[in-house]
Amino acid sequence: MSTSHIMSTYGRLPVSFMHGEGAWLWDNNNIRYLDAISGIAVCNLGHAHPTVHSAICKQSKNLIHTSNLYNIDLQEQLAEKLCGLSKLETVFFCNSGAEANEAAIKIARRYGHSQGITKPSIIVMEKSFHGRTIATLSATGNSKIKEGFGPLLQGFVHAPFNDIAAIENIIQKNKNIVAILAEPVQGEGGVNIPADDYLNKIRKICDQHQLLMMLDEVQTGIGRTGKFLAFQYNNIIPDVCTLAKALGNGVPIGACLASEKAGKILTAGTHGSTFGGNLLACAAALAVLDELEKQKLVDQAIDKSALITNLLSEKLQHNNQVRNIRHKGLMIGIELSKPCTDLVQQALLKNLLINVTSGNVIRLLPPLVINREQIDLLVNTLVELVTEHTK
């Protein structure tokens, strides 16, 4: 491969995968790798899951797409299921996380206009990630990925993550605030876990000031953190919640869930998506939700997370360059005291797929189906890698 016709937006590792099973992947030389990143929190059920496979096959034989000009029964079923699980009321379907957040941003802005606020603003967090479209990039709290794309969209005010006083301060000064958008755990930002009551406090502030509470659960959703949705740790219900990544286990689908109040804002003709919620994507997502429930995978994520992080803590306890091991379910961050982006390539040489965010945080997002043998292999390989790196 001397020349590639793919636009060079990614720094890719030199490996091509051909097939998979659970947490295993095989490359084009039939060498096996352990996947501890799940296609970036997408394949929560693991690769080539038989239930998802057969749902897609069956559906593609009948019908893949009709458009939203017509009723789509599978979309109705999926929306009903998602609303039952989240206690929200309505769903808009799209094809990615960025699109789900675009819908949320449009809801917030239109909500503002309905309140007589003609220049609505949304509070978003520093170190957040909400996508790569112009609106979601503008919302994102990472200046590096915004470079060269100005002028960005107005109407976002950034607050430090996990800082309630900063949010209150902004609201006091800015009468145009209509919503707060946050990730329950920041993924791309470095697996940043806020105080246990952070979301409860945001809920309270939103109620006090009639703001929409909007949660980006694109990465934390679908069982990743040990609850179906991460906000379920807090016994609250947001007004808007966005999903994508693991919802289709690899089949592109995004969703913007809304409460009764927020769900009435986008009326006929105000938003849309050609592919959004087509039959194939909905069939895949329904299979994913069924399987998560049947296998009790969401509950297991907590035990597996404890096992992985306890083993890592024990084996790395004397390494003073390991600053912190943090986790919410199977969203795990190992923070080192020095940069460690090289570890991704070192891990690949040991047939392990991991990720590093924020320069010095090893991020693990293993599939929820990871088994004990694979957990031991993951832990032992990681300990070797970290030990070599910090020698």
Ligand X SMILES: *Cc1c(COP(=O)(O)O)cnc(C)c1O
Q: Name which position in 120, 141, 184, 187 contacts ligand X (CB under 6 A).
A: 187
Residue 39 or 386: the one with the smaller Cβ distance to ligand X is 39
Q: Does 110 bind ligand X (CB under 6 A)?
A: no
Asked if 98 touches ligand X (CB under 6 A), the answer is yes
Q: Which region among 96-104, 151-159, 171-179, 207-215 touches ligand X (by CB under 6 A)?
A: 96-104
Which residues, numbered 194-253, are part of the site for ligand X (CB under 6 A)?
216, 218-219, 244-245
CB of 344 to ligand X, least distance (A): 18
**Counting contacts by CB under 6 A, is residue 183 touching ligand X?**
yes
Of 55-63, 123-131, 192-200, 365-373, which part binds ligand X (CB under 6 A)?
A: 123-131
Is 163 tagged catalytic? no
Q: Give the nearest distance from C-beta 257 to ligand X in angstroms.
A: 14
Residue closer to ligand X by CB (options 111, 129) is 129
Contact pick of 112, 131, 184, 190 for ligand X (by CB under 6 A): 131
State the nearest-atom distance from the C-beta of 101 to ligand X, in Å: 6
**Range in contact with ligand X (rule: CB under 6 A) among 2-10, 60-68, 162-170, 181-189:** 181-189
Catalytic residue check, 146: no
User: Is cis: bond before 339, omega within 30 of 0?
Assistant: no
Which one of the spans 95-103, 276-284, 294-302, 349-357 is the region binding ligand X (CB under 6 A)? 95-103
Residue 273 in contact with ligand X, rule: CB under 6 A: no
CB of 139 to ligand X, least distance (A): 9
Choice between 97 and 194, CB closer to ligand X: 97
Q: How far is the CB of 114 from ligand X (least distance, A)?
A: 26
User: Which residue's entry shows tokens 């069924």?
Assistant: 290
- Residue window 55-94: x/- pattern of binding to ligand X, with contact defined by CB under 6 A: ----------------------------------------
The 3-class SS string of the chain reads CCCCCCCCCCCCCCCCEEEEEECEEEECCCCEEEECCHHHHCCCCCECCHHHHHHHHHHHHHCCCCCCCCCCHHHHHHHHHHHHHHCCCEEEEECCHHHHHHHHHHHHHHHHHHCCCCCCEEEEECCCCCCCCHHHHHHCCCHHHHCCCCCCCCCEEEECCCCHHHHHHHHHHCCCEEEEEECCCECCCCCECCCCCHHHHHHHHHHHHCCEEEEECCCCCCCCCCCCCHHHHCCCCCCEEEECHHHHCCCCCEEEEECHHHHCCCCCCCCCCCCCCCHHHHHHHHHHHHHHHHCCHHHHHHHHHHHHHHHHHHHHCCCCCEEEEEEECCEEEEEECCCCCCHHHHHHHCCEECEEECCCEEEECCCCCCCHHHHHHHHHHHHHHHHHHCC
- Here the tokens at position 69 are 């000009």
Q: Which of 216, 231, 239, 304 is catalytic?
A: 216
If the CB atoms of residues 219 and 273 are measured against ligand X, the closer one turns out to be 219
The answer to whether 105 and 120 have CB atoms below 8 angstroms apart is no
Q: Is 161 a catalytic residue?
A: no
Q: How far is the CB of 188 from ligand X (least distance, A)?
A: 6
Non-local (6+) Cβ contacts of 330 within 8 A are: 224, 225, 226, 301, 304, 305, 308, 364, 365, 366, 368, 370
**Could you give the CA distance from residue 277 to residue 272 in angstroms, rounded to a whole number?**
11
For the CB of residue 157, give the shortest distance to ligand X in the complex, in Å.
18
Judged by CB under 6 A, the number of residues near ligand X is 15
**Least distance from ligand X to the Cβ atom of residue 55, Å:** 21
Residue 156 makes contact with ligand X by CB under 6 A: no
Q: Distance between CA 183 and CA 324 in Å, rounded?
A: 20
Catalytic entry in 92, 93, 127, 129: 129
Q: Which residue is catalytic, options 161, 228, 231, 245? A: 245
Q: Would you name the residues annotated as active-site residues?
A: 129, 216, 245
Return residues touching ligand X (CB under 6 A).
96-98, 101, 129-131, 183, 187-188, 216, 218-219, 244-245
